[in-house]
Amino acid sequence: MNTLSHLAIIMDGNGRWANAQDLPRAKGHEKGALVVREVTTYAAKAGVRMLTLYAFSTENWKRPSTEVDFLMKLLAKFLKQELPTLLEHNIRFDVMGDMHPFSPSLKKAIAHTKEATAHNTGLTQVLALNYGGWDEIARAAQRLASAHTPITPDALEGALDNPIPVDLLIRTGGEMRLSNFLLWQAAYAELRFTPTLWPAFTCKELEELMDSFTQANRRFGGL
Ligand code: IPE
Ligand code: IPE
Ligand code: MG
């Protein structure tokens, strides 16, 4: 039986969920944020140590500015709105990715949520924001190069935003690709893809995927 310590999710399908019911894409993102709360509290209760959620990729800036602006506002709202839930469930909040392009107020809200939950000892919820695997690995390599540290796998891993290996990686929305998510950390992750669009994803389906992870034969290159 495998222990699920680090769960990572590519929360895809918000726009298609909204389009399917003649709603603007923004409504899909709003509903998606509610699913984040349900899934996070479920994972916390199930004893998962870390939940990393792909919320905004380095490539998502290519979207129309109206959608990007909406997502930034939703993020600020999410940070404010979720704090009581995080505190109630002993959840620590963290982020990964390059925070530089974000507005000063969003950076402040991120720092505030991190500080307010820093002493929590249950699940760590990590939001991947302006995150891309290529960018993370390149920034890690640059850090080592600047410090004249030899680039070994261990050193590179230690210089990542978050080096903790992923046990189970789920992507909703039907696409079977990683879209630049956790390229290093997912090297030996169990991958599960579901056609369910993120706003329609339920804790029951999460439970089933977690059960299938528990049964998997993880060999890590051994026998
Ligand atoms: C995922 O849903 C959320 C973000 C990338 C911010 P999408 O917005 O990609 O929804 P689809 O894939 O277009 O349906
Ligand atoms: C991945 O979804 C990024 C997030 C879920 C934040 P995308 O919708 O951006 O990925 P592609 O474009 O289908 O590969
Ligand atoms: Mg998508």
CATH number at residue 54: 3.40.1180.10
Query: Does any domain span residue 186?
Result: yes
Query: Does any domain span residue 1?
Result: no
Segment 183-190 shows an average pLDDT of 98
Segment 113-118 shows an average pLDDT of 98
Token pair, residue 158, equals 């230690």
Query: Does any domain span residue 221?
Result: no
Query: Does any domain span residue 108?
Result: yes
Query: Does any domain span residue 222?
Result: no
pLDDT on residue 103: 98
Range of the domain at 19: 6-212
Token pair, residue 95, equals 């982020």
pLDDT digits (tens, 9 = 90+) for 139-184: 999 999 999 999 999 999 999 999 999 999 999 999 999 999 999 9
Question: Residue with structure tokens 């899934």?
Answer: 39
Nearest atom in ligand 2 to 128's CA: 6
pTM: 0.98
Q: Is 56 in the pocket of ligand 1 (CB under 6 A)?
A: yes
| Residues annotated catalytic, as ranges | 12, 60
Query: Does any domain span residue 218?
Result: no
- pLDDT cut 70: percent of the chain above it: 100
Q: Is 169 in the pocket of ligand 2 (CB under 6 A)?
A: no
pLDDT on residue 223: 96
Query: Does any domain span residue 206?
Result: yes
Segment 112-125 shows an average pLDDT of 98
How many domains are there within the chain? Answer: 1
Query: Does any domain span residue 220?
Result: no
| Nearest residue to 89 (alpha-carbon basis) of 54, 48, 129, 127 | 48
Q: Is 12 in the pocket of ligand 1 (CB under 6 A)?
A: yes
pLDDT on residue 75: 98
Cα of 26 from ligand 2 centre, angstroms: 15
Cα of 124 from ligand 3 centre, angstroms: 25
Q: Is 71 in the pocket of ligand 1 (CB under 6 A)?
A: yes
pLDDT digits (tens, 9 = 90+) for 70-88: 999 999 999 999 999 999 9
